[in-house]
Structure 1
C-alpha cells in the first residue's frame, strides 16, 4: 500500500493509516506501506511542521492500494491539497492509477483531489464535513458516513477517520482477525458503520 504525501499534508491523515497498517503487518497481515511523493524523493513538511523523509517516487501504476490524505484545504494559496488540485499531471496520473486497477482511497480533504481528478463524479463518497458542499457541487453523491466503500474507490470523512478507513481496508483485504488484532494493540476500535454499495 502506498500513501501519497506532499507539503501541507495533514499529519494525522498520514500517521493514522501508517500505524494501523503497520500493526496489521505485526498481526500477520501481508502488508507493506510506502510513503511516496510526486517527482523526486525528498522531504515534505506537514500542516503542523512535521517533516517526512520520503525515499520513493510515486509510480501511478505501481502498487495495489493508494491512499491520498488531505491537508490545507482552508488555505487556497498555501501548500496542501489545493496545490495538488492545480497539478494537471498529477490529476492525470491519479486517473491512470485508477484505470490500471489500483484501489484508490481518500482521507479527509484528500477526497477533493480525487474529485478534481474526476474519480468521484456520480459516485458515493465522503470527505471532511467542511468540504462536503464542495464535493456535492462537483457532482459526487455525498454520503454521511465515516467510511464509504464503492469498490475501487474508498473514502473517509475528516482527519481521525483515516484510522477507520485503514481498519476497513485491513478488514476488507486481510481479514477481520488481522483488523481485530490491530485494534487491540492500538486500543482503538473502528467507529461507525461502513457504507458499502450493495
Structure 2
C-alpha cells in the first residue's frame, strides 16, 4: 500500500501529521508493505504549514507510484493567505489532481482538502464531506454532501473537520489492510475511531 500525502504552503499540521502517523504505525501490524511519503505538486522542497512548521519534502509528484493520494486542508478561511484557496487560485494542484485519476488509485481528503478535489472536478455528483464551514461551497460546486465523519465512495473518500483525519486514515487502514491491523493501530495510538462512516449499500458499491 503506497500512500502519498500532498502538502502545500498553509496546510494544517494536524490534517497531514495525524494520517501520516496512522499509516506509519500500521506497518507494525501487517505483513504487507506500507510506504508513506509527502509530496507536493511542484516537486521537492520546503513547505511552510499553517502554524509555522517547516516540512522538507524529498519526493517528486508521482501519483502513478501511489495507491492512495491523501489531500489535507488548511487556510480556507484565510482568503488572502497561503492554503487551500491560494492553491485553487493557482490552479496547479487541482490540475495535477484531475490528471492523477486512474483505475486503482484512491483519492482522499481531510477537512477543506475536499475543496481542492472539488476544484479538480472530482466531487461533482459524488458523495463527500468537508469542514462544516465549507459545506455550503461544496454543495454549490456539485458535491453530494453526506452528514458523516468519513464518506467512502470507493475511489473517493473524504473526511469532515480537522481531527477526522485520524478516522479517515483508520478507516482506510481497515478497508485496505484489515480490521486486525486497524485495531492494532488504535491500541498503539490509544485512540478509537469516532463517528459514522457513510458508504453505499454493498450491492451498489463501485468497489
Q: Same fold (TM over 0.5)?
A: yes
TM-score normalised to structure 2 length: 0.92
Would you say 1:96 and 2:89 are equivalent positions?
Answer: no
- In the TM superposition, residue 93 of structure 1 has moved relative to its aligned partner by 1.8
The superposition leaves residues 165-197 of structure 1 with CA deviations (integer Å, 9 ceiling, x where unpaired) of 000000000000000000000000110121001
Shifted more, 28-37 versus 137-146: the winner is 28-37
> What residue number does 1:152 align with?
155
Q: Tell whether the 8 Å contact from 2:41 to 2:92 is kept in structure 1 after alignment.
A: no
- In the TM superposition, residue 139 of structure 1 has moved relative to its aligned partner by 1.0
- In the TM superposition, residue 140 of structure 1 has moved relative to its aligned partner by 0.7
> What residue number does 2:83 align with?
80
Q: Tell whether the 8 Å contact from 1:10 to 1:70 is kept in structure 2 after alignment.
A: yes
Q: Aligned partners of 2:103 and 2:84: how far apart in 1?
A: 23
1:14 aligned to which of 13, 16, 36: 16
- In the TM superposition, residue 57 of structure 1 has moved relative to its aligned partner by 1.5
The secondary structure found in structure 2 opposite 1:33 is: strand
Would you say 1:48 and 2:47 are equivalent positions?
Answer: no
Listed as ranges, the gaps of 5+ residues in structure 1 are none
- In the TM superposition, residue 100 of structure 1 has moved relative to its aligned partner by 4.8
Number of equivalent positions:
198
Would you say 1:188 and 2:165 are equivalent positions?
Answer: no
Q: Tell whether the 8 Å contact from 1:109 to 1:128 is kept in structure 2 after alignment.
A: yes
TM-score normalised to structure 1 length: 0.96
Q: Aligned partners of 1:40 and 1:4: how far apart in 2?
A: 11
Q: Aligned partners of 1:91 and 1:120: how far apart in 2?
A: 12
1:4 aligned to which of 3, 6, 23: 6
Shifted more, 183-192 versus 54-63: the winner is 54-63
- Following TM superposition, the consecutive aligned residue runs of length 4 or more in structure 1 with deviations greater than 6 angstroms are none
The secondary structure found in structure 2 opposite 1:39 is: coil
Listed as ranges, the gaps of 5+ residues in structure 2 are 202-207
Q: Tell whether the 8 Å contact from 2:41 to 2:96 is kept in structure 1 after alignment.
A: no
Q: How does 1:16-31 map to 2 (within 5 A)?
A: 16-28=18-30, 29-31=32-34
Shifted more, 135-144 versus 95-104: the winner is 95-104
